[in-house]
Amino acid sequence: MKLLILLAVLTLAQSRYTEDKCSGIIVHNFKHEKEVLKSEVTSPYQLAIDYDTNTVFFSYSSEGENVFESAFINLKTNEFGNIPGISGGFANAVDSKKNIVYLGGRDGIYKYNYESKKAEHLDTTNDNIWQLFYKDALYYSRYPDETAFVLKNNKFEKVPELGNTRAFLIGLDNYRNIYFSNSSGLFFYKMANGLIDYVGDFNVNGFTSDINGNLFFSTPDGIFFINVDKKEVERIAEIDSVYGVAIEADGNILYASYDSIIRLKATKNLCPVEDYKISFAV
Q: Which of 41, 75, 71, 67 is nearest to 59 (CA)?
A: 71
Confidence of residue 9 (pLDDT cuts 50, 70, 90): very low
Confidence of residue 133 (pLDDT cuts 50, 70, 90): very high
CB 222 within 8 A of CB 238: yes
**What tens digit of pLDDT does each residue of 216-243 get?**
999 999 999 999 999 999 999 999 999 9
Residue 65 pLDDT > 80, yes or no? no
Confidence of residue 66 (pLDDT cuts 50, 70, 90): confident
Confidence of residue 1 (pLDDT cuts 50, 70, 90): low
Residue 113 pLDDT > 60, yes or no? yes
Confidence of residue 5 (pLDDT cuts 50, 70, 90): very low
- 163: how many CB neighbours lie within 10 A of its CB? 9
**What tens digit of pLDDT does each residue of 169-211 get?**
999 999 999 999 999 999 999 998 999 999 999 999 999 999 9
Confidence of residue 274 (pLDDT cuts 50, 70, 90): confident
Average pLDDT of the chain, as a whole number? 92
Confidence of residue 12 (pLDDT cuts 50, 70, 90): very low
pLDDT at 121: 97
Domains in the chain, CATH or no CATH each: 27-279 (2.120.10.30)
Tell me the mean pLDDT in the region 153-164: 94
